[in-house]
Amino acid sequence: MPAVTRQQYFDAALALLAANGFAGLNVGRLCGELGVTSGSFYHHFGGWPGFVGSLLEFWEQRQVRILAEGHFGTEGPEADFAALMDLTLGLPHQAEAAIRAWSMNDETVRAVQKRVDEARVGTVGRAVQGLVGDAALAGTLTSLGLAMLVGHQQLLAEGAHTDLAALLAEYTRLVHSRVP
């Protein structure tokens, strides 16, 4: 059997979450997906709690890594806002919807979900405030953006189709309409 990396476990877990929801993620399915024994899983993570903690840390730090790799914050609020819209399009939306559902059933997941939401609000809020100049308006526009993202993900998880690119284009027009 081929050796697999922690990254491969995380990628497979996100795919399973997207396909089956949080209830469909377990050691057996994960190992079956990767073609490895449960011994490999336990070697990497020690057990289910170690895996969940590592997966959530990976997911939480994903945005930080992507923003750092994209040199976020170095070219001004217009470039930052555009980068955030591109980042939003590339999120694993169905997996994120499953993580949000999981957070309603698990306090550890809920704490990470809250931190991810807070980090997104902070990051988007800074870019929006840099564009519109007004902190209160930026807060409202940022909350609207997060609500749109979460709503899109939840509808997607229920099988409904929303065109996120079109939603983000409208959101971008709205934000830019408020630039002084």
Residue 70 has pLDDT above 80, yes or no: no
Per-residue burial over 152-166, b if 16 or more Cβ lie within 10 Å, else e, is: bbbebbeeeeeebee
Domain membership flag for residue 73? yes
- Percent of the chain topping pLDDT 90: 82
Q: What is the mean pLDDT of residues 42-53?
A: 95
pLDDT digits 0-9 by tens, 108-137: 999 999 999 998 999 999 999 999 999 999
**DSSP 8-state symbol, 46:** S
Q: What is the pLDDT of residue 24?
A: 93
- CA dist 87 and 68 (Å) reads 12
CATH label of the domain that carries residue 44: 1.10.357.10
**Do the domain assignments include residue 10?**
yes
In this prediction, residue 75 carries a pLDDT of 85
Evaluate whether residue 23 is within a structural domain: yes
CB contact at 8 A, 89 and 162 = no
Residue 159, by phi and psi: left (phi above 0), alpha (psi -120 to 50) or beta? left
Angle at 160 between CA 155 and CA 163, to 5 degrees: 85
The answer to whether position 1 is within a domain reads: no
Average pLDDT over residues 166-171: 97
Specify the pTM: 0.89
53 within some domain? yes
> Do the domain assignments include residue 106?
yes
Q: How many domains does the chain have?
A: 1
Q: Say if 85 falls within a structural domain.
A: yes
- The domain in which residue 147 lies consists of 6-177
C-alpha radius of gyration, the chain, whole number: 18
SS3 of 94-140: HHHHHHHHHHCCCHHHHHHHHHHHHHHHHHHHHHHHHHHCCHHHHHH
